[in-house]
Amino acid sequence: MIKYFIYCRKSSEDEERQILSIEAQLAELREFAKQNNLFVVKEYYESKTAKEPGREVFNFMMSEIEKGNASGILAWNPDRLARNSIDGGRVIYLVDTGKITSLKFPTFWFEPTPQGKFMLSVAFGQAKYYTDNLRENILRGIRQKIRRGELSAKAPLGYFNEPRLRTIEPDKKTLNKVKEVLRAFATSK
């Protein structure tokens, strides 16, 4: 019987963002494992972007697979495993060497055949493309805000981000105090 690790990941380390993502993935994957009679030996999850290699939990899980403690991974989608070429290549290499004998995704079909590995590499490539393209689109938006004379970041002290208008406005509660502190600093008081 193949032993599986469940792996869940959300991109943001911020507790306020993607708050239900890990919980939802775990619930769906546990149900998928139950429906498909998959033997899950451990669950791994982390809040880290996959656009760069170096995720501690992912790397630990992969080393456990290399040691033979499991030979299958159950994840929501290939992009949960990798959005960079190093981690994607590592997964494919472990499939090539027989360390990973099964990858299961509720949203993606995979078989460890030449065609299956090719499609997995395409899925990892699409995930990397999505991340790279998103970065370019965000940078374009930031450049446009700067051209229009707008701040493109979090409002500085004494101001607040107005989400409806997408502007930065003076904060009547703190702006005068900030001005007072800056005047005192400027005059060495």
Confidence band of 15 (pLDDT split at 50, 70, 90)? low
pLDDT one-digit tens code per residue, 74-119: 999 998 999 898 999 999 999 999 999 999 999 888 888 888 888 8
pTM for this structure? Answer: 0.72
Specify the long-range contacts of residues 177-186, CB closer than 8 Å, at least 24 apart: none
Does the pLDDT value for residue 31 go beyond 80? yes
Fold (CATH) for 3-133: Rossmann fold (3.40.50)
Lowest pLDDT segment from 13-22, 37-46, 136-145: 13-22
**Residue 71 to residue 5: CA distance in whole angstroms:** 8
Mean pLDDT over the full length of the chain? 88
Mean pLDDT is lowest, of 45-49, 60-64, 130-134, 165-169, for 165-169
The average pLDDT across 20-37 equals 92
